[in-house]
Amino acid sequence: MKIGIMQPYFFPYVGYWQLIYLVDKYVIYDDVNYIKGGWINRNQILMNGKPKMINLKMNGASPNKLINEVQVAKDEIYNRKLLRTIEHCYKKAPELIISSNIDKNKSLKGQDKVINICTILNASEYYNAIGGVELYSPEVFESNGIKLKFLKTVNVEYDQNNDKFIPNLSIIDVMMFNSKEETKKLLNSYTIL
């Protein structure tokens, strides 16, 4: 069995996640002394082409305390500013698109609004969760040059150390009760209709 152990980091770098991916079991090393100036509550993001340090405010941060004895400060103003900084730095990143940032016809509703977004983004196919079968018409999408497809999750079940399996919980539950290989299998447990 492969084991990895590291202290918790604030938005860890890719190597941290690679280590988690590499091992069978990963231990978050939270009962060692807090390191001021380390990566537990800070990291760097890209701002205007240069690294920018971001910090999470902590209460009681001290090298004389264990990591699990230090708490994140409940400073709403600071935390909102931190989130705005991250959003500002990455709002043009290509990974995810925020609907409210798309210059679309705001008077449209439902299916028409979705088709408008797809058209703006030059979609040839639109994938929706299976729950949308009753909401969307394949013919209407097809008439707009878009193939409508639905993702249907195949029966996903795993050992939760519980008498009865409770479905449809957060991805956190999936990741905590499954190895990386099992999680990958579960992520690929779907059919396209």
Q: Of 68-72, 94-98, 121-125, 172-176, where does mean pLDDT reach its minimum?
A: 94-98
Give exposure, 98-116, as e/b (b: 16+ Cβ within 10 Å): eeeeeeeeeeeeebeebbb
Question: How far apart are the C-alpha atoms of 87 and 169, rounded to whole Å?
Answer: 27
pTM above 0.85, yes or no: no
Question: How far apart are the C-alpha atoms of 140 and 90, rounded to whole Å?
Answer: 34
pLDDT tens digits, 34-82: 999 999 999 998 888 778 899 999 999 999 999 999 999 999 999 999 9
The residues near 149 (Cβ < 8 Å, ≥ 6 apart) are: 125, 126, 127, 128, 192, 193
pLDDT tens digits, 103-149: 999 899 899 999 999 999 999 999 988 888 999 999 999 999 999 99
